[in-house]
Amino acid sequence: MSRFLGDRLKAIEAYVPGEQPRDRKYIKLNTNESPYGPPDNVVEAINSQEIYDLRLYGDPECRELKDALSRIYGIDRSKIFVSNGSDEVLNFSFMAYGHKGASFADITYGFYSVFAELYGIDTDIIPLKEDFSIDPSDYYGKNNLVVIANPNAPSGLFMPLSSVEEIVKSNPEGLVLIDEAYVDFGGESALSLVDDYENLLVVRTFSKSRSMAGARLGFAFGNAALISDLEKIKYSTNPYNVNRLTQRAGIAALENDKYFMDNCQRIINTRELVIKRLKALGFEATDSRTNFVFVTSERIEGSVYYKMLRERGILVRYFPGERTGAYNRITIGSEEEMNTFIRITEEIMEEVSA
Ligand X SMILES: *Cc1c(COP(=O)(O)O)cnc(C)c1O
Quote the CA–CA distance of 204 and 89 in Å, as a whole number.
9
Neighbours of 207 (CB within 10 A): 22
Rule CB under 6 A: which of 280-319 touch ligand X? none
Binder of ligand X out of 149, 190, 220, 308 (CB under 6 A): 149
φ, ψ of residue 179 in degrees (nearest 5): -90, 105
Q: Which is nearer to ligand X, 171 or 207 (CB)?
A: 207
Sheet containing strand 292-296, edge to edge, reads 284-285, 292-296, 327-331
Tell me how far, at minimum, the Cβ of 124 lies from ligand X, in Å.
19
Residues 202-241 that bind ligand X (CB under 6 A): 205, 207, 213, 218
CB of 153 to ligand X, least distance (A): 5
Query: Which residue, 84 or 296, is less far from ligand X as judged by CB?
Result: 84
Longest alpha-carbon distance in the chain: 63
Minimum Å gap between C-beta 74 and ligand X is: 22
Q: How far is the CB of 141 from ligand X (least distance, A)?
A: 24
For residues 281 and 79, what is the distance between their CA atoms, to the nearest angstrom?
47
Shortest Å distance, C-beta 216 to ligand X: 7
Q: Report helix, strand or coil for 264.
A: helix
Q: How far is the CB of 324 from ligand X (least distance, A)?
A: 15
Q: Can you say whether residue 293 is alpha, beta or left, with left for phi > 0 and alpha for psi between -120 and 50 degrees?
A: beta
Q: Which residues contact 55 (CB under 8 A, 6 or more apart)?
A: none
Nearer to ligand X, 153 or 309 (CB): 153
Residue 179 or 188 with smaller CB distance to ligand X: 179
Exactly one of 33, 165, 179, 229 binds ligand X (CB under 6 A); that residue is 179
Whether 172 and 197 have beta carbons less than 8 Å apart is answered as no
Q: Of 6, 219, 196, 209, whose CA–CA distance to 120 is shortest?
A: 6
Among 153, 253, 267, 275, binds ligand X (CB under 6 A): 153
d(CA 237, CA 252): 27
For 102, phi then psi, to 5°, come to -135, 140
Q: How far is the CB of 34 from ligand X (least distance, A)?
A: 11
The answer to whether residue 184 forms part of the interface with ligand X (CB under 6 A) is no
Q: What angle do CA 128, 333, 279 make, to 5 degrees?
A: 60
Taking contact as CB under 6 A, which single stretch among the options 16-24, 85-93, 317-325, 334-342 is the one that binds ligand X?
85-93
* Cβ-based nearer residue to ligand X, 73 or 109: 109
The contact mask relative to ligand X for 25-44 (x = CB under 6 A, - = no) is -------x------------
What is d(CA 35, CA 29) in angstroms, rounded to the nearest whole number? 9
123 backbone dihedrals φ, ψ, rounded to 5°: -115, 145
Identified binder of ligand X from the candidate list 38, 58, 85, 98, rule CB under 6 A: 85
Closest residue to ligand X, judged by C-beta, is 85
- Say whether residue 246 binds ligand X (CB under 6 A): no
- Which segment (84-92, 232-240, 304-312, 331-339) binds ligand X by CB under 6 A? 84-92
The answer to whether 110 contacts ligand X (rule: CB under 6 A) is no
Distance CA 126, CA 135 (A): 9
CB 178 within 8 A of CB 190: yes
* Residues of this chain that bind ligand X (CB under 6 A): 32, 85-87, 109, 149, 153, 179, 181, 205, 207, 213, 218
